[in-house]
Amino acid sequence: MAAVAQGVLAPVYAPLAEQIVRDFDLADKPGIGIDVGSGHGTLIIELCKRTRMHWINADINPHVFPIFFRAAEEAGLGGRVSAVFADAQAMPFRDNFADIIVSRGVLQFWEDKQRAFSEIYRVLKPGGVAFIGRGFSDNLPVDVARKIRAAQTAPEEEKDKDSVTKYKVSDLESELRQIMKNLNIERYKMRIPKPPGSEGIKYGIWIEIHK
Q: Dihedral through CA 57, CA 202, CA 196, CA 173, nearest 10? A: -70
Give CA–CA dist 156/36, Å, rounded.
Answer: 29
Q: What is the CATH number for 44?
A: 3.40.50.150
Domain that holds residue 139: 2-210
pLDDT at 159: 43
Buried b / exposed e across 69-83, counting CB within 10 Å, b at 16+?
A: bebbeeeebeebbbb
Which tens digit of pLDDT belongs to each residue from 48-105?
A: 999 999 999 999 999 999 999 999 999 999 899 999 999 999 999 999 999 999 999 9
Which tens digit of pLDDT belongs to each residue from 116-140?
A: 999 999 999 999 999 999 999 999 9
Predicted confidence (pLDDT) at residue 2 exceeds the cutoff of 80: no
Question: What is the count of structural domains for the chain?
Answer: 1
Which tens digit of pLDDT belongs to each residue from 134-181?
A: 999 999 999 999 999 988 876 544 444 445 556 789 999 999 999 999
